[in-house]
Every structure is written in C-alpha cells, then in structure tokens.
Amino acid sequence: MKLNRLFLKWIFFLVLSGVGSVLYAQNSYKGLFPFESGYSDFITDYRIKAVDNGTFHIDFKNQNFLKNDEYFSDLTAGLTYLGSHLQPSIQYQPYSNIKLSLGVSALYFSGLERFHKVQPVYTINYQPSEGFNILMGSINGGFNHSLHEALYAYENPFLRPVESGVQILLNKLRFKGDIWIDWRHFIFKNANQQEKIVGGAHLNYTCFQWEKYQLNADFQSFIFHKGGQYTVEGQVMKTIINTSLGFSLLRYLGDASEKENYLGVRYKHFNYFEITRLSYLPYNQGWSSSSSVFMNYKNWKVNLEYWYGKYFISSKGQALLMSISQTYGSVRVPNPQVLMAKLQWQKEVSTNVFVSLRFEPYFDINALELNYSYSLHMIFNSRFFLWKKK
C-alpha cells in the first residue's frame, strides 16, 4: 500500500513539473534488429544525443496490453493478460555522452485492487563513441532484445517489464549487438534461496546489400542460471542454455533507403543444453529448426513459419514449441512440429500514441490441434523538456 501511495505522489510530481513544457515526439527508431522483431511498437530509443547536453527531461512510458491465449494443448494452459505498465522518470544528461535516469515502474493487472509490482528504476547510460553504449542499472530489455519466441516468449515482458543488470549495445553500419545480464534475484551469504540470473546476446551482421536485396546473419542466445556459492547445502544449481544461428534474405519493396517495406525468407537452427549436476529435466540437450517467410508492408506485418524440434527445451520460450509440458509433468513431445503464423496491424493514431492488433495461430501437426492467441496494445511514449542547465 505504501508503494502504491509513493507511486501516485511520483506521478503527481511529474505532472506538475511538466506543465508548460514542450512535448518532444519520439522519432522513427525501429530498434537494433528491425528485421528480427515483430514488436516494433514496444521498442525504446536508448541513444544519447549531444544536443541534449545539460538538459533535464521527463520520460514517460505507458504500455496497455490485452493478450488472450486460447490454448488447448497438453503442453500449456491458456491465460489472459490484461493490464498496464507505467514508467515515468526524470532524465538528466550532465555530459554529451552520459545520461542518468531515475524513476519508478508500476505494473497493474486488471482485476487486482492494487498495483501488482512497484519498483524503482535507475539507469546510467554511457556512450564512449557513436553507436556504442554501456548501460548499468535498469537496462533496455524485454522486446528490445528482439529474441525469437522459442528463446523468450511474447508474454514475458508483460510479467517482468523491468530488467536490472548491465548491457552493452552496438549499432554500427553492418553490425548490431546486444549483450546483457539481468540479475533477477540477489542473495546474501547463507541464504535459504538461490540466486537467479539470466543473460543473453543478440548479434546481427549484414553480409551484403545489393540494390534491393540484403542478406543478414543472426545469432541469439539466452541463458538461465539458478544457484550461487552461498546457498544452503542441498540446493542444486541449474543452468539452461539456448542458442540460435540463422540467415535471412530480404528484398525491399519500393525505396531501399527507407527500409520500411520488405519481403523475406529466414532459416534458424536452435540448440538446447542443460548443465546441471543432478538433472531435473527428461532431456539434457536437443535442437530445432525454423523456416519462415515474412513481410512488412506499411502498417502490416506477416510471418509464416514451420517449426521442427527434437528434445528441445527452453527456460523462458513459447511452451507450444517445447518437448515437455508445463501443465502435466508426464507429457513428452520428443519431436514437436508446429505451423505458426503472426499477423499484426500497427499504426500511430496520434502523436506518440500507437495501437496494434495481433493474431497468432499455432497448428500442432502431431496432435492435429489448433491453438491461437490475439492481442491488443495501446502505447504512449514521450519526453517532456523541463529545463537546461546553464
């Protein structure tokens, strides 16, 4: 209750501080991996601009979401996510290459009488050179990592919108990179709980671009670790590693310099490893492959994909693609085969206000079963200028 009151006071302070200020519209930043991500409406611009040296801003992020899973599979149960995430903060850029941010994050699910989780957020963002950023504190996480759903399921950022740790971001002409550690549960010596750490990397390289054609190589990894040297005796350390390596070939539709409309094909190979002294999973290694056709045209995004796996498990991935069940421990699918699609419509309906609709069917070839989900998002992200230090 105290956290909820503090959050409301923080919102009130920011509103008063922003009265009479100039509204800064977000630019058309699409993230580091626009061809790998289907969630551009959630992307956050982390870059530092020298022109903002000495300035104070209010940064306001608001994501409202509805995602309904109609899943009938034995692998997982269907759920409905309906709620909002608010994250106001004050940003100060003392130098041309350093930005500080202090704010609060509040996650609310409809049907609850109070916020589900309220926590402080703090970030120091250091940009040693153009296209190279180091973030510590609350990092640029969630959909910004642009991971395949087999490594990181679509609903994870709704349940955990804030990631805390350290992050390195690279944005060069042909090479893009995102390497991070998210420290999820900190422990002290002789704690009766285990520490939880996740980390990963997303690296993308443009092999060549000729006229309207472009070939990209893409590597992704996600690591889940539960353990720690100071945990009590008898607790087992668990580590699950997932990686993917793939290539995509796309053709731009229209002006290639705009990089807005394109058609492409993609292939990815996934690996799974469990590194645990006493294994608690039925398979300790496996693999899978994914072949897809995708298109981005104006306000529409379409992705058609075939998934085949063998003993594949992921710590935070889409359960419908796994070889084990989240619902029934005895259910095994050694060779999952799934045909899936993603259809998304997205539009900026007003300045800084985005609306998107999604429909995602999953057809289980082995079980001859159709599972699907649909979602609605309304997002408002903006910055308000406060003052400039002389």
Note the pLDDT tens digit of each residue in 103-119. 999 999 999 999 999 99
Please tell me the predicted confidence (pLDDT) of residue 5.
56
Please give the Cα distance from 151 to 142 (Å, whole number). 12
Show the tokens assigned to 112. Answer: 């609850």
Amino acid found at 241: I
Please give the Cα distance from 2 to 7 (Å, whole number). 9
Stated as kind and residue range, the H or E segment containing 153 is none
- Judge contact between 286 and 315, C-beta under 8 A: no
Please give the Cα distance from 141 to 161 (Å, whole number). 8
Looking at the predicted structure, is the pLDDT value of residue 325 above 50?
yes
- Of residues 334 and 36, which shows the higher confidence score? 334
Q: Work out the end-to-end distance of the chain between its first and last CA atoms, rounded to an integer number of angstroms.
A: 40
Mean of pLDDT over the chain: 88
DSSP string, 233-258: TTPPPEEEEEEEEEEEEEEESS-TTT
- Of residues 106 and 350, which shows the higher confidence score? 106
* pTM for the structure as a whole: 0.90
Radius of gyration (C-alpha) of the chain in whole angstroms: 21
Please tell me the predicted confidence (pLDDT) of residue 172.
94
Looking at the predicted structure, is the pLDDT value of residue 15 above 50?
no
**Structural domain total, the chain:** 1
Show the tokens assigned to 39. Answer: 């969630």
Point out the least confidently predicted range of 13-22, 66-75, 260-269.
13-22
Looking at the predicted structure, is the pLDDT value of residue 120 above 50?
yes
- Of residues 243 and 193, which shows the higher confidence score? 243
Note the pLDDT tens digit of each residue in 86-98. 999 999 999 999 9
Looking at the predicted structure, is the pLDDT value of residue 28 above 70?
no
- Judge contact between 322 and 312, C-beta under 8 A: yes
Note the pLDDT tens digit of each residue in 238-250. 899 999 999 999 9
Mean pLDDT of 162-181: 96
With b for 16 or more beta-carbon neighbours within 10 A and e for fewer, the 74-112 pattern comes to bbbeeeebebebbbbbbbbbeeebebbbebbbbbbbeee
Any idea what the CATH number is for the domain that residue 268 is in?
Answer: 2.40.160
> Where are the strands (E) in 188-336, listed by range?
195-210, 213-227, 238-252, 262-274, 285-297, 300-310
The boundaries of the domain holding residue 174 are 2-388
Please tell me the predicted confidence (pLDDT) of residue 35.
73
Amino acid found at 170: L
Name the percent of the chain lying above pLDDT 70: 88
Name the percent of the chain lying above pLDDT 90: 71
Show the tokens assigned to 201. Answer: 């990397």
Looking at the predicted structure, is the pLDDT value of residue 234 above 80?
no
Please tell me the predicted confidence (pLDDT) of residue 229.
61
